[in-house]
A and B are shown apart, each in its own frame.
Chain A
Amino acid sequence: MPTIRIPTPLRPFTGGATEVAITGATVADAMHDLTAQHPQLQQHLYGADGELRAFVNIFLESEDVRHLQGIATPLPAGARLRIVPSVAGGKRSQRAATQLAAGCC
């Protein structure tokens, strides 16, 4: 079964899970299965138009799916997906803006 690696900023929406087993023949199916399992991820991964947000980077193994067939990329059995977040922290990380935690209070 394919798995998807969840980056730290998204783990609050997967109950802390670092990796989620998913089903689906394509990246798109797998992402839908992921949000079906963890509905709180929906607004972080998908825009109001139902499309994956432009800043969500999905890698199949070490390849950006944008350079494969995008979300139509077929998933082999046991494929490892990962979401790579854009993270801004560095200088003063307790106020770090991250993809999902911009401008911490």
Chain B
Amino acid sequence: MIRISSAVDPATLVLSNEEIRRYSRHLIMPEVTLTGQQRLKAASVLCIGTGGLGSPVALYLAAAGVGRIGLVDYDVVESHNLQRQVIHGTAQIGVLKVESARQRLLDLNPDIEVITHNEIFSSANAMQLAQPYDILIDGTDNFPTRYLVNDVCVLLDKPNVYGSIFRFEGQVSVFWAKHGPCYRCLFPAPPPPGLVPSCAEGGVLGVLPGTVGTLQASEAIKLILGIGEPLLGRLLLYDALAMTMEEVKLRKNPDCVICGPHPTVTALIDYEQFCGMPAHDQGAAQTTSSVPELTVQELKAMLDAHRPLHIIDVREPHEWQIVRLEQAKLIPLGDLQAHLSELDSTADHVVLCRSGARSAKAVELLLASGIKRVKNLKGGILAWAREVDTTLPLY
């Protein structure tokens, strides 16, 4: 049996009559009982991220009666979050996510304690933030923070309930170096940041983090109660489209740099440097492209002056359907190579995409193909919609 040991002795906690009534469906199960409910009340869980995964995780842990829930996030609620981040509501748009989540959790269960950490989880604060908690739940959205959460858990000997999603697919596991492999055993090195085929491959089915997050909550509760078979040494692969849940075996990597017998990582490192990418988008540059570019205001001035100009939109057709410039011609980035012969190398070209990264790649391709009079639209159609034509939708 694998169970966390809480700093608070569960046996010392008394459940009120109201709590007994609230948790009655737990208490009557022989796998939980009053003792298990006391364990839940004594337990503390830190949710890193209160987004798509963090929403169901925190909601179900609060409902289950986990006594102390910590929330780490630095964002505010935006309308495009609500498609999947069900802990927040329309009335909370613009509110700090940790505060919005705290209010919802305490409304759901006023008997628990919710501690908010409105800050970026970083090497500077992670050990201190994580130390008081029994379990960490990784609901983050980037590689640097995932490696950080892993290393914190290994160094502090805490379980890391891992969940990750992409479009229609999810992954779930429990990493706990004392009992099995860690995240680095499976993914020793982060992928290089340069392999970015297309923004059109992003996105996520809104319900997917709901499924994956509830699985994470379930694993956390099992670790608290010490029941069942935790997802240690196993990676669950969920495919919502195929509706398959398969698992693969994970083993400890004897050469693991942090949980192996000869660790070389014995303290937190600079994870952004390690991964070669930012851990968050606060103040981070959207692109670091060095291709020639122009601003949306410059483009507007050229169009107003009726300057002859070919505007190429390299997004995907389903994005074109959402919003487009009437003067633009759609050639998705993946098709551009095949359409090069149609372009007039003596004419001026402006290339755009959603926010400027794909179009920068397109400009590189055009320049390399001998089409020299070409510029990237800085900030893409989003910048146009924000700064020039505010009647256009943002997506």
Contact = CB atoms under 8 A, between A and B. Distances in A.
Given A43-B195, A91-B139, A105-B353, A96 B169 contact: no
A97 B272 CA distance: 13
B52 A88 contact: no
B286 interface: yes
Interface string A1-25: 0000001110011000010000000
Q: How large is the interface on B (under 10, 10 to 19, 20 to 34, 35 or more residues)?
A: 35 or more
Given A13-B197, A63-B249, A105-B287, A91 B171 contact: no
Count chain B CB atoms within 10 A of each CB in A64, A86, A93 and give the residue with the most. Answer: A93
A101 B201 contact: yes
Interface in A59-88: 59, 62-64, 66-67, 82, 84-88
Contact of B140 (A12, A57, A90, A98): A90
A100 B169 CA distance: 14
B242 A18 contact: yes
Given A97-B142, A101-B197, A57 B187 contact: yes
B357 interface: yes
Which applies to chain B's interface (DSSP): helix, strand, loop or mixed?
loop
Interface stretch (B60-68, B158-166, B293-301): B158-166
Contacts of B73: 91
Contacts of B250: 64
A25 to B, nearest CB: 23
B186 interface: yes
A103 B165 contact: no
B146 interface: yes
Contacts of B286: 105
A105 B75 CA distance: 18
A55 B139 CA distance: 21
Given A62-B246, A98-B191, A104-B201, 7 more contacts: A43-B195, A54-B189, A64-B248, A91-B54, A97-B143, A97-B193, A104-B202
6 contacts: A9-B201, A12-B201, A88-B164, A90-B52, A90-B53, A105-B380
Interface of A: 7-9, 12-13, 18, 43-44, 53-55, 57, 59, 62-64, 66-67, 82, 84-105
Q: 6 closest A-B pairs (Cβ-Cβ)?
A: A105-B357, A91-B51, A93-B204, A91-B141, A104-B202, A91-B49
